[in-house]
Amino acid sequence: MENIKIRRALISVFDKTGIEDFAKSLADMGVEIISSGGTAKAIEAAGIKVRYVQEWTGFPEMLGHRVVTLHPKVHGSILALRDDPEHQADIEKYGLEPLDLVCVSLYPFDKAIAKDGCTLADAVEMIDIGGPTMIRAAAKNHKFVTVVSDTGQYQQVLDEMKANDGAVTFGLRQEFARQAFALTCSYDTAISTYLAQQTGNDFPERISFSYTKDSELRYGENSHQRSSFYRAPDATDEPCIGRAKLLSGKSISYNNYFDANGALELVKEFTEPAVAIIKHANPAGCAIDNDLVEAYRKAYYSDVNACMGGIIAVNRPVTCELATAITETYKRWGKDSGAAGFFAEIILAPSFEKGALEIIQNREGWGKNVRILEVGDFDGKQNKEKFLKFVVGGMLVQDRDLLGLNTDDWKVVTERQPSEQELFDMKFAWLVCKHVKSNAIILAKDQTLIGAGAGQMSRVNSAFLAGELSKQYGGGDKIDPAGCVLASDAFFPFSDSLDWAKQAGATAVIEPGGANKDDEVIEYANKLGLAMIFTGARHFNH
């Protein structure tokens, strides 16, 4: 495939960033420029000669600028094959003037619908028709035409033209064509998704998702797997891992992204100052406290061994005091804490106080490597995007689990009512349990996770593990499990898990209810003197 010299270009852009400089550089290299509307006026105002599309085609703009470039001369001049005799005959017959470069940016539909007060009529007017049509036509004919669909491509085109006597290589034309089709696919996806929402059809017969590549990762879950991170189009609406800024440290890995997301989503559940420490997709520690440093200390003592190398998430700005507490864990809490050599993979928070970042970076051993992520203020916004899971040959799509404390549906089913402290801890435990892999059992006391049984094939084994972990580690700083509460992400099919709850020191249990043997479970809870709440909702997290 040969290089194609750029002699004639059609430019029609909504985003006029850098367009005057681009057009001037093209004109300086002898390129004839054809344009329309505001783009033509901007180019002309910069002192660059331009032919207006309506003069070129002999057909005026019409329907309030809805029809400008939808004309046979425009698309014939884009789609003509220079090496096809029949096309050459049509070029001469219909007076076509082949275009070598087509530069188009689309109406920003996604930004329009994101504005408060955007109506359906407003959204429809921001659906670009002529732009995608020209982009697709130019991309199809990339054998001869260079399609420019992003401002970031301007310099690449100019560099190639300067290096190749005004010509662009086939390799760049092909790459730009690929990017162009990805753009129009994304554009149509945004429109389709919006219209589905307007009609109340969240699960249409065809569904598409469009994400933008953010970065290539070193590898995936394992070193033999390739991976990249792609950003969702509405990642700016909610504090999330997709909009996080890496302030310091090594690049983020595939597993880091997954675990950091889990940590962030957990601390977002709480309005009180909260700290979560995630390891291998599960909470190794979590606590809330009016004192942020105390919340960290309690979270760390949930399981000091598991917290080693974990991901720390905080729902408040990281203060210098908290930064010091994290970096001096060993020094503050002594050898018995198990903190010798303690390090964190990631610390993420809404923001970092002045000086806090330097305290972390200066921590000898791992401070320079720990990834510091800033996610922005927690403003309560929640994206309504779908939750996707891929299987071989297909994809599962569901709503996000945004159900928080559904206390209006809670029901005390035992003879004994929970105390005020037990109820306080049960609310905390229920939110934490939502973020533990099913089958999930957690024990909590004083707003602190003290034991978790995650991902076991039987619920009774999860209860056993949670109880065992609640007794281990931490020396005198570990919370005494006596008087703790137990939370289960789904109902107890049998009453045997209550034996482990009682043995672990639990005095109250919160679970969804709904099992065939609920009556038997309630009767046994009464026998053991436990208070029990049925929530009426479960939180499987596979």
In tens, the pLDDT along 465-474 reads 888 888 875 4
Neighbours of 361 (CB within 10 A): 17
Strand partners, 274: 288
Question: Mean pLDDT throughout 96-104?
Answer: 93
User: If you classify domain 407-534 with CATH, what class do you get?
Assistant: alpha beta
Residues in Cβ contact with 78 at an 8 Å cutoff, skipping those fewer than 6 apart: 10, 99, 102, 134, 137, 138, 141, 145
Domains 241-374 and 407-534 alike in fold: yes
* pLDDT over 50 (residue 326): yes
**Domain residue limits, the chain:** 4-198, 241-374, 407-534
pLDDT of the residue at 308: 85
Question: Mean pLDDT throughout 397-417?
Answer: 91
Q: Calculate the dihedral angle through the C-alpha atoms of 496, 497, 499, 503, rounding to the nearest 10 degrees.
A: 160
CB 317 within 8 A of CB 339: no
Long-range contacts of 401-410, Cβ-Cβ distance < 8 Å, separation of 24 or more:
401/434, 401/539, 401/541, 403/537, 403/539, 404/269, 404/431, 405/430, 405/431, 406/535, 406/536, 406/537, 409/535, 409/536, 409/537, 410/533, 410/534, 410/535, 410/536
Question: Mean pLDDT throughout 96-106?
Answer: 92
In tens, the pLDDT along 266-304 reads 999 999 999 999 999 999 999 999 999 999 999 998 888
- Using only C-alpha atoms, the chain has a radius of gyration, in whole angstroms, of 30
The phi and psi torsions of 350 (rounded to 5 degrees) equal: -55, -40
Residues in Cβ contact with 326 at an 8 Å cutoff, skipping those fewer than 6 apart: 296, 312, 344, 347, 360
For residues 492 and 450, what is the distance between their CA atoms, to the nearest angstrom? 21
Identify the active-site residue in 73, 87, 143, 280: 280
Q: How confident is the model at residue 338 (pLDDT cuts 50, 70, 90)?
A: very low
For residues 358 and 190, what is the distance between their CA atoms, to the nearest angstrom? 41
pLDDT of the residue at 474: 45
CATH classification of 4-198, choosing from 1.10.40.60, 3.40.50.1380, 3.10.310.10, 3.40.50.1860? 3.40.50.1380
Residues in Cβ contact with 328 at an 8 Å cutoff, skipping those fewer than 6 apart: none
Neighbours of 223 (CB within 10 A): 8
CATH classification of 241-374, choosing from 3.40.140.20, 3.40.50.300, 3.40.50.2300, 3.40.190.10? 3.40.140.20
- Of 29-38, 114-123, 137-146, 329-338, the one with minimum mean pLDDT is 329-338
pLDDT of the residue at 475: 44
What pairing do the DSSP bridges indicate for beta strands 441-445 and 274-279?
unpaired
Identify the active-site residue in 16, 41, 140, 386: 140
Q: Known catalytic residue: 280?
A: yes
Regarding predicted confidence, which is higher, 200 or 415? 415
CB 530 within 8 A of CB 500: no
The one-letter amino acid code at 396 reads L
The two tokens of residue 187 are: 């554009």
In tens, the pLDDT along 170-209 reads 999 999 999 999 999 988 888 888 888 888 888 888 888 8
